[in-house]
Amino acid sequence: MNRITFKPSIDHNVIFTFDDKIQDILCFQLANIPIDEEYEAEYIRRMILKTIGEKEAETLCKISIGLSCKEKDFVKLPIIKKVFDRDGKYYFQPNQRNDIENQIIEGTKIASLTNSF
């Protein structure tokens, strides 16, 4: 299956919450986002690694994502619908994770030092 991407930039406002330090609030743009929901974990992992990096993400507890785009139809993209279905929230405490968070951290150090809630 070919991966189809959404070319326009999407504005991201993300709050990163950690176990051991104050929250970071970052605003940035990402383009060429895969449109299919099967790439949700990859999209969120990319967001984390490109902004705060793997070392900073070792104690990541939660991310809260706000999205906007000049192309109003971006909300119809399957991957964006998945983010909105979760209210833009991803929880990384070991006892709060579900399958998608486990896929996000798989093979990385993301949330490797995070304590349970």
Q: Confirm whether 41 is domain-assigned.
A: yes
pTM of this structure: 0.94
Query: What is the b/e burial string over 18-56, where b = at least 16 CB atoms within 10 angstroms of the residue's CB?
Result: bbeeeeeeeeeebeebbeeeebbbebbbebbeebbeeeb
Q: Confirm whether 66 is domain-assigned.
A: yes
**Parent domain of 65:** 5-14+24-105
Q: Confirm whether 85 is domain-assigned.
A: yes
Question: What is the pLDDT, as a whole number, of residue 93?
Answer: 97
Model confidence over 82-92: pLDDT tens digits? 999 999 999 99
Question: What is the pLDDT, as a whole number, of residue 81?
Answer: 97
Model confidence over 16-75: pLDDT tens digits? 999 999 999 999 999 999 999 999 999 999 999 999 999 999 999 999 999 999 998 999
φ, ψ at 2 (rounded to 5°): -75, 140
| pLDDT for 1 beyond 80 | no
Domain count along the chain: 1
CA 18 – CA 16 distance, rounded (Å) = 7
Q: Confirm whether 110 is domain-assigned.
A: no
| pLDDT for 2 beyond 80 | no
Q: Confirm whether 45 is domain-assigned.
A: yes
